[in-house]
Amino acid sequence: MSFKGQKILPAIRSMKDFDKMLKTQYEYGVFLDMHIGMLKSVFDYARQNNRKMFLHADLIHGLSSDEYAAEFLAQYVKPYGIISTKGNVIMKAKQKGIFTVQRVFIIDSSALERSIKLISKTNPDYIELLPGVVPKTISEMYERTGKSIFAGGLIDHPEEVEQALNAGASAITTSDKSLWKHYS
């Protein structure tokens, strides 16, 4: 299973990276580490190039990651989707009609249980599970939530991509350009 036909969601950390993504067939991607002053123009540029980009709300420099920020992003920037670790951001973005991705870090069984509870409360469209190199956790998260999973973090090789996809991930979020190239 893949996300809109893509096994990889390129994770973009700079405009140079985005220009590289534009030279690929990838339609969907994720913006990370953005300055608040660049948001509007970068998303306008993405739309002009027929790219549907998620925005990691927790990684915007100059903007607090809270429900007011989510409302601002939904109304002013209009990303395809918002990614956040914060439940209030996810719930506000959903309320504003933006696709949502609840990012969770699974470091032990307690974190898994807390994440399941958070997901049942926020009801995101997707889940981004980190680290993405634990197929057992991907399978369990999918079985218990029924949500599409993006696996991210510490995935460096095509074999790890395939393991995550075989475990039930819909796509892999990665800034590793060798994986972008391998799957393009």
* Residue-range domain boundaries for the chain: 8-183
Q: Do 151 and 132 meet the contact criterion of CB atoms below 8 Å apart?
A: yes
Fold of the domain built from segment(s) 8-183: TIM Barrel (3.20.20)
R_g (Cα) of the chain, nearest Å:
15
Work out whether strand 81-84 and strand 28-31 pair parallel, antiparallel, or are unpaired: unpaired
Confidence (pLDDT) at 4: 78
Q: What is the pLDDT along the chain (184 residues), one digit of tens a residue?
A: 456 789 999 999 999 999 999 999 999 999 999 999 999 999 999 999 999 999 999 999 999 999 999 999 999 999 999 999 999 999 999 999 999 999 999 999 999 999 999 999 999 999 999 999 999 999 999 999 999 999 999 999 999 999 999 999 999 999 999 999 999 9
Confidence (pLDDT) at 1: 45
Token couple for 101: 């991705």
Element (H, E) at 35: strand 34-35
Phi/psi class of residue 130: alpha, beta or left (left: φ > 0; alpha: ψ in -120 to 50)?
Answer: beta
Tell me the sheet residues that pair with 6.
3
